[in-house]
Amino acid sequence: MSGAIGRLVLRRIGFAVPVLVIVALGVFLLAAASPFDPIHQYYGVEIFGASAADVARVRAELGLDDPVLVQFWNWLSGVLGGDLGVSRSFRQPVAQVVAERLPWTILLAATGLAFAVVLALVLGTVAAWRQGGWVDRFVTAIGHALEGLPPFVLALLSIAVFSLGLGWLPVAGLTDAGQAVSFGQVAEHLVLPALVLGVSQSPWLVLHVRQSMLTSLSEDHVTGARARGLAERVVVLRHALPTALLPFVTLIGARIPELVTGAVLVEEVFSWPGLAAAVVTSATAVDYPLLAVLTLVATAAVLIGSLLADIAAILLDPRVAADG
Q: What is the pLDDT of residues 210-260, one digit of tens each?
A: 888 888 877 777 778 777 877 777 877 777 777 777 778 777 777 777 787
- Does 187 have pLDDT greater than 60? yes
Q: Is the confidence at residue 273, as pLDDT, over 80?
A: yes
Round to whole Å and give the CA distance between 279 and 302: 17
Tens digit of each residue's pLDDT (9 = 90 or more) over 80-110: 888 887 787 787 888 888 898 889 988 998 8
Across the chain, the runs of DSSP E, i.e. the strands, are 86-87, 92-93
Q: pLDDT class for 317, splitting at 50, 70, 90?
A: low
pLDDT at residue number 8: 76
Which among 312, 119, 304, 114 is positioned nearest to 204, based on CA atoms? 119
Residue 321 pLDDT exceeds 60: no
Beta bridge partners of 143: none
Task: Using alpha carbons, select from 246, 267, 239 the residue that is nearest to residue 314.
Answer: 246
Q: Are 276 and 268 in contact (CB under 8 A)?
A: yes
Give yes or no for residue 60 having a pLDDT over 80.
no
Mean pLDDT rounded to a whole number for the chain = 80
DSSP string, 123-140: HHHHHHHTTTSHHHHHHH
- Read off the pLDDT band of 1 (50, 70, 90): low
Cα separation, 168 vs 67, whole angstroms: 54
In the structure, how many helices (H) and strands (E) does the chain have?
Answer: 15, 2
Ranges of CATH 1.10.3720 domains, the chain = 107-281
3-class secondary structure, 231: coil
Q: Which CATH class is domain 107-281?
A: mainly alpha
Question: Whole-angstrom Cα distance, residue 197 to residue 57?
Answer: 45
Q: For residues 45, 46, 51 and 56, what is the CA-based torsion angle, rounded to 10 degrees?
A: -80
Average pLDDT over residues 278-299: 80
pLDDT digits (tens, 9 = 90+) for 11-55: 888 888 888 888 888 877 877 776 666 666 666 656 666 677 776
pLDDT grade, residue 78 (50/70/90)? confident
Q: Above pLDDT 90, what percent of the chain? A: 2
Could you tell me the sign of the dihedral formed by the alpha carbons of 28, 30, 35, 36, in that order? negative
Q: Exposure string (b/e) for 54-89, b if CB count within 10 Å is 16 or more? A: eeeebbeebebeeeeeebbeebeeebeeeebbbbbb
Q: What pLDDT score was predicted for residue 44?
A: 61
- Is 286 in contact with 69 (CB distance < 8 Å)? no
CA within 13 Å, CB half, 47: 14
Determine the pLDDT at residue 46.
65
C-beta of residue 168 within 8 angstroms of C-beta of residue 162: yes
User: In residues, how long is the chain?
Assistant: 324
